[in-house]
Chains A and B, each alone.
Chain A
């Protein structure tokens, strides 16, 4: 599943949800949590449920539910064949995930769904950061992300590179170890294209493979950063070809443009080509 971008759309705004169908994020992320005021929660659940059934999005459909116990009601309403994944906020342990996964299991069975809905935990607290590894290895978790504002508030810092560096690094390493995706948080300044690009590029360099968007205007930059460039694709193809040739000769490593390449390089090359194939 390619997740370069996920566009947050408030779950209580029918016009924006409908517009989302014409837009091109990799993931349509319908939000039932922070962007929906408490008095609108019930209506939003029903709207999101009907929207994902009726609109038949071509993109991956992800819903950010509320933390349990309210999240139980969210899941009970929205679980259906058209739902691909859920974003679970303020995840602090593998127990949190097991609880969500358990309810998903029951609902999927009761509704005879042909799929398993994936979980993307959001790390937003110091406690969650300390347990990144166990969370990343939990069942149904296919990606992991973080919420910057809640995290800095939790640790009493301010939103700076330095304050977030440890969390991002920990999260990227945990994701890599678990073989899942590390997804960057949102960039809150809609009109600051330069800042968005810088933050996305830094995250990509740290191992992240996608980023949240709070406005469709951010999608193009995010896609540019997290899509392989022509040069990267050409390089990846050369690596694959060189390693294939080496394998045929019974070697585990090869030389490409004066540099030794081996299995980790091949793994990276395959990842680039997979993303490229999905994109095209």
Chain B
């Protein structure tokens, strides 16, 4: 067994692969070169248009890795369409490398059972993750954060045979964007590395328009074929998850403590830049911060997202200067990306740890959620306390690692189960990069951050130790039960540099 830097015991090999243990947030430098896919060419007069059936028949074979993006989130139709074709053709054992799967992708569970899909490499939100937890996946799944996935594709750790890119608008030569068309979903940046490094790239659109499409999020120089389908998804469903400011008094209290702490730390200042996520508490922080900036006639820097109407509102009120958009969480954000030159699309390589400057390095603050937090400040965003793998890592690790101050916003307990506990079920982000835990009962500052502790000690903000928060949670709810799991590993959690942070164990099905 190996013990990694987060204190987790790992076997020497997992799924036949030698384990590279997590050594520390920035302890593992790049050790590979970029993947170099074969060059190809298209002669003048050659047609790139091809039906989706034809593309699947021609390019997808047994055992291949096929990829998709999740910009349409719970409104995506393409994963299910392609897998249905793959299954009908009798193709077996594909690796599904969708950047994230949602409840709409429940049919994937059937394809896990019938042998069409042997494993998933990507975030699993909902039923597919549940199936993985119960051991219904032939091989061990791999979860990475967004930037880590980008790096894995670049390095060849996640080699993609065929990338299917759902494109709300495309021309017949493969230039694509996500801001026009009936299925407009915003940026297409999650697919960008796939477009660069996959062996074959198929753009799939329900809005084929005259050449050339502008703006170009995905470029013709990387696309092999364009397939036209009736519909790629339902953009109304990109509003999945919580995308409204919380009305819960306790969650509002948490948001208030975050804003007060940011203020005490001097973050609410000229040029300050933030990572704003979805989720009621994060949105409330965004909204309250916007009001404070406006009241004080201060203009922040950029907002990075996960973009919602609240961040767009900050831009349009003039309290931040720019939005850098990796993902739209609602249609207001999509419209703003289309119309406002200060709202710019970025691709996911901006989030990679291995490039010449991650966008996260420029963040002053990030406020992120969690399902659990432990006494070492380790954060779980993947599993619930019953052990079920129900969420992806999303964009959690990168901002946490790089922002000057990282807040985790959590209630002390949910459904009478403590969120703050002795030990998290799964480490998704290590405690060494987490600075402040904000709960409705007050904040706990990571003892590593003596600078923060000093600045909040004489404020009105209730500052407790993480042990005190845990005690309060246990006093109210009792000690939480451990999940009923076996020793079988069903998924690995990679840190953004590709090392192994933790494993997810098989849950006993009752």
A and B are partners in one complex rather than unrelated chains: yes
Contacts of A55 in B (CB 8 A): 476
Q: Are A216 and B476 in contact (CB under 8 A)?
A: no
Q: Are B252 and A22 in contact (CB under 8 A)?
A: no
Contacts of B250 in A (CB 8 A): 19, 22-23
Q: Are B476 and A23 in contact (CB under 8 A)?
A: no
Contacts of A42 in B (CB 8 A): none
- CB within 8 Å of A: which of B252-272? 252-253
Contacts of B440 in A (CB 8 A): 19, 22-23
Contacts of B247 in A (CB 8 A): 217
| Cβ of A215 under 8 Å from chain B | yes
Per-residue interface assignment for chain B, residues 227 to 260, with 1 indicating a CB less than 8 Å from any chain A CB and 0 otherwise: 0000000000000000000010110110000000
| Cβ of B77 under 8 Å from chain A | no
Alpha-carbon distance A257/B148, docked complex (angstroms):
67
| Cβ of B412 under 8 Å from chain A | yes
Q: How many A residues touch B, CB cutoff 8 Å?
A: 10
* Residue from the list B252, B253, B439, B476 in contact with A18, Cβ < 8 A: B476
Q: How many B residues touch A, CB cutoff 8 Å?
A: 10
Interface of A is mostly: loop
Contacts of A24 in B (CB 8 A): 253
| Cβ of B441 under 8 Å from chain A | yes
Contacts of A18 in B (CB 8 A): 476
Contacts of A217 in B (CB 8 A): 247, 249, 252
Alpha-carbon distance A21/B250, docked complex (angstroms):
10
Nearest-neighbor residue (CB-CB) of B441 within chain A: A22
Alpha-carbon distance A215/B252, docked complex (angstroms):
12
Q: Are A19 and B476 in contact (CB under 8 A)?
A: no
Contacts of A216 in B (CB 8 A): 249, 252-253
- CB within 8 Å of B: which of A204-242? 215-217
Nearest-neighbor residue (CB-CB) of A20 within chain B: B249
Nearest-neighbor residue (CB-CB) of A215 within chain B: B249
Contacts of B441 in A (CB 8 A): 21-22
Nearest-neighbor residue (CB-CB) of B249 within chain A: A216
Contacts of B439 in A (CB 8 A): 22
Contacts of A23 in B (CB 8 A): 249-250, 253, 440
Per-residue interface assignment for chain A, residues 170 to 187, with 1 indicating a CB less than 8 Å from any chain B CB and 0 otherwise: 000000000000000000
Contacts of A21 in B (CB 8 A): 441
Alpha-carbon distance A24/B250, docked complex (angstroms):
10
Report the minimal beta-carbon distance from B295 to chain A, rounded to whole angstroms. 14
Q: Are A22 and B253 in contact (CB under 8 A)?
A: yes
A-B contact pairs, 5 of them (CB 8 A): A19-B440, A23-B250, A216-B253, A217-B247, A217-B252
**Other A-B pairs beyond A19-B440, A22-B250, 7, CB < 8 Å:** A18-B476, A19-B249, A21-B441, A23-B440, A24-B253, A55-B476, A217-B252
Q: Which 6 A-B pairs have the closest CB atoms?
A: A216-B249, A22-B440, A19-B250, A22-B441, A22-B250, A22-B253
